[in-house]
Structure 1
Amino acid sequence: MDSGPTAPSTSGTRHPTLAQLREASHPDVSVHLQSCAQCQSMIAADVPSAPIPLDLPKGLVSESAFKWPADPIARGGMAAIYAAEDRRLGRTVILKAPREGDDLAPGLADMFQRRVTAEARILAKLQHPAIVTIHELGKSTVGWPFCVLERVEGVSLRDRLDELVELEKDGKPRTRERLELLSNLVSIAEALAYAHERNVVHRDCTPNNILLGKRGEATLIDWGIARDLDAPGMAEDALSVNNQDPSVSGRMVTISAGTPPYLPYAQTQGRQAEPSFDVYSFGITLYETVSGVTPFEWRVEDTEVGRAKQLVRFLEWAQSDEPAAPAMPKDLELSGIIARAIDRDGAKRFTSDELVRALKQYLTGDLVFSHRYSVTGRLARWARRNRALAVGVVSL
């Protein structure tokens, strides 16, 4: 009598098959699923009814057109990133290839390939100065796809914020330097608004994924978990902690649907992606940029138990109605902009267009449309914008 597939041993590195994970009826499979981040990610991304297409067209460039380095410059949960030379044009490009390896759960490598292909199709829809450009989609001789992306020169916002934290250890706040970063970040807000107009949601707008150039430009990168709301099969990811592949900086734990503490509660629950998710993530990024901390303090945890407890605390905080403390208590306008961007109720947040408008008004000295001013507040704002005239009036 056929008793069905045998459950894998959970003592080694062997993983259940996708069919076994879908059933998860065997006790050993259930136990394995609770503790294995890879299998959790695969279940979260498994969309049997409408999978992300992997129908690669013919005529794609092959990997032989590039001089690949021995090691990647970064590794993520789904892909490895290489700085390679394009042999045809003599330029340096970024190659993003899906993760491979015998340690991957069955079916996970195929899912990573589909994600890389989906990212290429999304980026092909987006041409914006603050969004990384895709040059082409490639296909290796053994069949796996890879993205050929522009190489963006600069440092991540994450590195810049860490640098400011180090400088502030002397007890002197770097408020001016922090506020100067807002000019860079307006272009990221504009990029999000542009993507939202085209029904694309980034879902991971964090300091790690924002690059700052030498001339004040900023670029939003890593669209690997972005959602094209017009494409079929874009089911949402359930919460799944990826303990094996922390983000490049090692400071955060990436989950399959985003990165805590930058994502709203609705996103952790695998709900339909919407632009308000990006507004929230960008708002938390703004909060950290100007204050040096995030509303929920996310610490590095070295143990499975510590990571699990912290995740539970984060979910409890994200679900609560407790408002975050003002990002800058002495600047009510800026604090108000950030507070509305990170409102727990997605319907009360700015749209991305409104967020761009509010930030530009704040930076140019105009009255911020969303802020309620007192008479003295309006006068103070006018005086700051018309400093020379205000001095003349006072001297009369």
Structure 2
Amino acid sequence: MERAAKSACQTLFPHSKPMPEPASNTPQETSSEDARFEATLMFESTSVSVSRQEEDVALAAELMASGLLSEREVTAAVADWSIYGHVSLAQHLTSRELITSEQLETLSQRSKKRVDRARESIAGGSAMLTGKDSMLLATLERLDGSGRVAKLLGVTVAARPSDQEVRVMEGRYELIRKLGQGGLGRVWLARDVNLNRYVALKEISHMAGSSHVIQRFKNEAEITGRLDHPSIVPIYQLGEDLTTQRVFYTMRFLGRSTLQDAIVEYHERREDGDEDPMLLRQLLTAFVNVCHAIGYAHSRKVIHRDLKPENVVIDSFGQVIVIDWGLAKVVDETTVESLVDSVALTSTDQTSEGQVMGTPLYMAPEQAAGRLDELDYRTDIYGLGAILFAIVTGFAPHEKTQKESADSGVGARGMITAIASGETPSAFEVHAEADPALEAICGKAMSRRRYARYQEATQLADDVQRWMAGETVSAYQEGPWRRANRWMSLHSRLTQAMIGVAMVVLVALTTLAMTARQNQLALARANYADMSGDLRELELQFRGIAVELGKDVRFLASLPPIEGIMNAREGIDVEEEAVWRERLETIYAGMLRSNSDYVSISFESYGEKGEAIEVVRVQRNPADPTLVRTMPPSRLRSSEEDALISAVATLEPGDAKLTLENRDMSVVNARGVDRLTVATPVFSDVTGKFFGMTVIESDVSGRVSEVLAGLGEVKYQLYLADGRGKVWATDTPSGGVRLVNTVETVPDLPEEVAQLLEKPQYPFQLESEDEYIARRFYVDPAGHGLFIFGRLADE
């Protein structure tokens, strides 16, 4: 059973068309008199035995009646099998794993009984059959009276009337061959002798001749005859056979193609990748015609009660005809239909008689529940929705229920119960790519609540026509994107014009954007080039400052008063040390006044314990930088273990030491900014020993301000800092030059630059094109160096 279900999922769209209903069968017209009396059987009689063919037909009939496989699935299963071959149908189904061996055993037993009953019926009849082909023909007719199974298996049987059936109907109609057979009657192709035209003649079968059935048969003809509509089969005559007294009626002879055939062909093409939207529109156009025909019938107070694609014929010129009005009823609120008027359930895929009337695959819930008093126009609306469901998905609405009922073993009656109590089938569950609007129309037409359905067939037709025209439908609330798509399809020329304008605007905007981007990149490259040049200029400026300080401090160390002070301390010079100190203070004061960025100048001696002892010191007043003052001997200071003098003591004559470190002896800076200190050693000319050093303290912030001011307006972010990253000053497009008085580091410093800053005494130059430049250089290899960082501004 699981394999059958799996196969059903894999063969949803068979490759051969299903057999149309008996009333829609129309044979090809014959051109000779002999064709009306000769029975033909299209096999090669020498290739297989008669019993094998009988058993194949009987097995197929039992298989379809059981519901294990639908007609569609059986069609797909036999697409690569032939009844004329050496492999039986049972062997073929087993090899394909469509049914289990237990299921096949049960079906085989039933099919053998069916063959036995057919042969007994033939043997018990009064007709004398001669020849193998005649015997097979008679057997097949009893096994498959409607011809559906024979056509499904590829067996074409042209049945001629028997000796008892060769008759003239009221002297006007001659029977040619049988088109199909149902539960109540059979349909013949006949010739109207008077008008020399072909008609379809339907008569009561010899097995259904009760007065009740005859009355229903006459009602069918009368109801159909009163419906004068182009899409409803016309009735020509209602009469009685002169010899057998069987009631018959004649009607228009229709083509073989049904709406079911067109639906199968469309979905086969769609599954093969040939999805032509015109085929769907043709099916929907035919469906609209069916809706109008049923709407006309409703206006004449007639309901069909058995609407399905097989009951819609499409002739050779595309005209749509609704047939099989055998279950039709005139709606009369003054009469009550009894259970005797309905028909008994026999099969899930044929019109049935009993408490449940209609075809279960397309049946409304109230029909399945047997609530005869609730069957009205809206029952037909459900049937129309079921036909639309088949058009959209390729499957009958309750085909899934049929499969589940067969797999579970509850049979046809269980399927009827499920239809009566189940939910409304969803087209999306069968065909996920179904159009949402069409799915909504199907859902509304097949609503379980009759009041929720379309109340008229024309309303359903209008919604389908609106969908085909690209308009909104009443059953579906579409979203804005779908509404926009529909609007564009309706206004194609305006849409094309708007798209053209949009493309022009888009191209223009793209061009402008590209131009703006190119200009922006060009500007960024220009700013980057300016930034790179400015940073090189800054480095040169600071190196120049270091060189100038070195020259000044060496000049101060070579002054005669320095040598005079040393000689006086050695007792060599006749002049006292105070005289030389006063002379030196005068020179230092003049130097401070001529260099506004100098904070202090001092001459310091080197003590025995490594301490720095001030000999002369001239400095600016921290509160008033314009005031230069000489420190008296009582205010001179000394510093034990001074790092600067210890470092200078190791230098050669003429070398200079630059540092950014603050000393205990440094002048207190009111602004709290860093200073650059430079010192050079002083050696005694007499003894040649290291005596001390001359020191110049320079205000870094002042020099920085001067340098940055010389750059003018910058278009990038600039940061000046010591070699450890402590910022001295910034220069930005929006803020200009800003001196930093607190501990501040460069914000959002790139990780690779931050890693290099952590390595002391390591000069580097790192550039990221069109983004930043970072440089650290040293004017004193033993110092912390200077760090310059430039970044293109986002502002």
Q: TM-score range by the shorter chain?
A: 0.7 to 0.9
Q: Is residue 152 of structure 1 aligned with residue 259 of structure 2? A: no
1:196 is matched by which residue type in structure 2?
H
User: Which residue is 2:214 aligned to?
Assistant: 113
Structure 1 pair 94–207 and aligned structure 2 pair: CA distance change class (3 A): same
Cross-structure match for 1:392: 497
1:65–1:305 CA distance, 2 compared to 1 (3 A): farther
The answer to whether the Cα contact below 8 Å between 1:239 and 1:268 also exists between their aligned partners in 2 is: no
Per the alignment, residue 417 of structure 2 pairs with 315
Secondary structure of the 1:120 match is helix
Q: 1:287 pairs with 374, 386, 389, which one? A: 389
Q: SS of 2:203's equivalent? A: strand
Q: 1:75 aligns with which of 181, 185, 204?
A: 181
| Mapped partners of 1:390, 1:305: distance in 2 | 53
- Tell me the equivalent position of 2:286: 184
What is the TM-score of this pair, normalised by structure 1? 0.73
1:196 aligns with 2:298: yes
Q: CA deviation at 1:315?
A: 2.5
Cα contact 1:84–1:95 (8 A) shared by 2: yes
Alpha-carbon offset, residue 283 of structure 1: 1.0
What residue number does 1:139 align with? Answer: 240
Q: Which has the higher contact order (CA 8 A, sep 6+)?
A: 1
**Equivalent in the alignment of 2:469:** 364
Mark the CA change 1:291 to 1:179 in structure 2 (over 3 Å): closer, same or farther. farther
**For residue 205 of structure 2, what is the aligned residue in structure 1?**
99
Aligned Cα RMSD in Å? 3.1
Partner Cα separation in structure 2 for residue 292 and residue 137 of structure 1: 37
Distance 1:340 1:162, change over 3 A: same
Mapped pair 1:258 → 2:358: yes
Q: Which residue of 2 aligns with 1:89?
A: 195
The number of residues matched between the two structures is 324
Structure 1 position 191, deviation (Å): 0.6
Between the aligned partners of 1:379 and 1:367, the Cα distance in structure 2 is: 11
Using the TM superposition, give the Cα deviation of residue 382 of structure 1 relative to its aligned residue in structure 2, in angstroms.
1.5
Go from structure 1 to structure 2 and tell me whether the alpha carbon gap of 1:239 and 1:264 turns closer, same or farther (over 3 Å shift): farther
Q: 2:389·2:442 contact (CA, 8 Å) conserved in 1?
A: yes
List per-residue Cα deviations over 1:276-303 (Å, max 9, x = no partner). Answer: 11111121111111211223226999xx
Deviation >6 Å, runs of 4+:
304-307
Greater strand percent: which structure? 2
Opposite residue 186 of structure 1, the aligned amino acid is: V
**Matches of 1:308 and 1:206, distance apart in 2:** 24
Moved more, 109-118 or 220-229: 109-118
Does the CA-based 8 Å contact 2:238-2:250 persist in structure 1?
yes
Deviation at 1:166, TM superposition (A): 4.7
Amino acid in the other structure paired with 1:268? A
Q: Which amino acid aligns with 1:379?
A: A
Deviation, structure 1 residue 126: 0.8
Q: Percent identity?
A: 26
The answer as to whether partners of 1:227 and 1:234 remain within 8 angstroms in 2 is no
Report the Cα distance in structure 2 between the residues aligned to 1:68 and 1:299, rounded to whole angstroms.
Answer: 41
Whether the 8 Å CA contact 1:205–1:282 is kept in 2: the answer is yes
**Does the CA contact (< 8 Å) of 2:424 and 2:443 recur in 1?**
no
Deviation, 1:187, is: 0.3
Report the Cα offset of residue 167 of structure 1.
4.5
The yes-or-no answer on 1:214 pairing with 2:321 is no
- Structure 2 residue identity aligned to 1:389: L
CA distance in 2, matches of 1:120, 1:92: 18
Residue aligned with 2:378, SS: helix
1:182-213 deviation per Cα after TM superposition (whole angstroms, max 9, x unaligned): 11111001011111111111011111100112
| Deviation of the 1:371 alpha carbon | 2.7
For residues 206 and 409 of structure 2, the distance between their equivalents in structure 1, rounded to whole angstroms, comes to 26
Report the AA paired with residue 261 of structure 2.
D
The one of 428, 434, 448 aligned to 1:344:
448
**Deviation of residue 313 (structure 1)?**
3.2
- Give the structure 2 partner of residue 128 of structure 1: 229
SS in 2 for 1:377: helix
Quick one: which amino acid aligns to residue 171 of structure 2? S
TM-score, normalization by structure 2 = 0.38
Name the counterpart of 2:368.
268
**Greater alpha carbon shift after TM alignment, 201-210 vs 288-297:** 288-297
User: What SS does the corresponding residue of 1:261 show, helix, strand or coil?
Assistant: helix
3-state SS of 1:137 partner: strand
Deviation at 1:307, TM superposition (A): 8.1
One-letter code aligned to 2:358 = G
| Deviation per residue, 1:164-190 (Å, 9 max, x gap) | 455556466666534431111110010
Are the counterparts in 1 of residues 343 and 352 from structure 2 also a CA contact under 8 Å? yes
Cα distance in 1 for partners of 2:379, 2:198 equals: 33
**What is the CA–CA distance in structure 2 between the aligned matches of 1:190 and 1:214, rounded to whole Å?**
20
| 3-state SS in 1 of match to 2:313 | strand
- Structure 1 pair 171/360, CA: closer, same or farther in 2 (3 Å)? closer
Give how far 1:72 is off.
1.7
**Deviations 1:30-81, CA, capped at 9 Å, x for gaps:** xxxxxxxxxxxxxxxxxxxxxxxxxxxxxxx954310112x42100111101
Q: Is the Cα contact below 8 Å between 2:424 and 2:446 reproduced in 1?
A: no
Q: Give the C-alpha shift of residue 84 in structure 1.
A: 0.5
Label 1:152 to 1:360 Cα distance change in 2 as closer, same or farther (>3 A): same
> Which residue of structure 2 aligns with residue 20 of structure 1?
none
Contact 1:99/1:112 (<8 A) preserved: no
Q: Does the CA-based 8 Å contact 2:303-2:328 persist in structure 1?
A: yes
Q: Provide the residue aligned with 2:458 in structure 1.
A: 353
Change (3 A) 1:191 1:179: same
Aligned partners of 1:130 and 1:277: how far apart in 2?
20
Mapping of 1:297-336 within 5 angstroms?
297=399, 309-321=411-423, 323-326=425-428, 329-336=433-440
Paired with 1:264 and 1:300, the residues of 2 have a C-alpha distance of 14
Shift in CA distance, 92/308, structure 1 to aligned 2, threshold 3 Å? farther
Give the aligned residue type for 2:206.
E
In 1, the alpha carbon distance for the partners of 2:275 and 2:326 equals: 35
Letter in 2 for 1:68: L
Query: Structure 2: how far apart are the matches of 1:88 and 1:260?
Result: 41
Structure 1: stretches of 5+ with no match in the other structure = 1-11, 14-60, 247-251
> The residue matched to 1:73 in structure 2 has which SS?
strand
Q: Is 2:346 the partner of 1:242? A: yes
- Give the equivalent residue in structure 1 for 2:478: 373
Q: What secondary structure, in the 3-state scheme, does the structure 2 residue paired with 1:204 have?
A: coil
1:253: Cα distance to partner?
A: 3.4
Q: In the superposition, relative to structure 1, how do residues 213 and 364 fare at CA in structure 2: closer, same or farther (>3 Å)?
A: farther
CA radius of gyration, larger in: 2
In structure 2, relative to structure 1, the CA distance for the partners of 1:305 and 1:330 (3 Å cut) is closer
Give the drift of 1:127.
Answer: 0.8
Aligned-partner Cα distance in 2 for 1:94–1:123: 14
Partner of 2:172: 65
**Contact 2:392-2:434 within 8 A present in 1 as well:** no
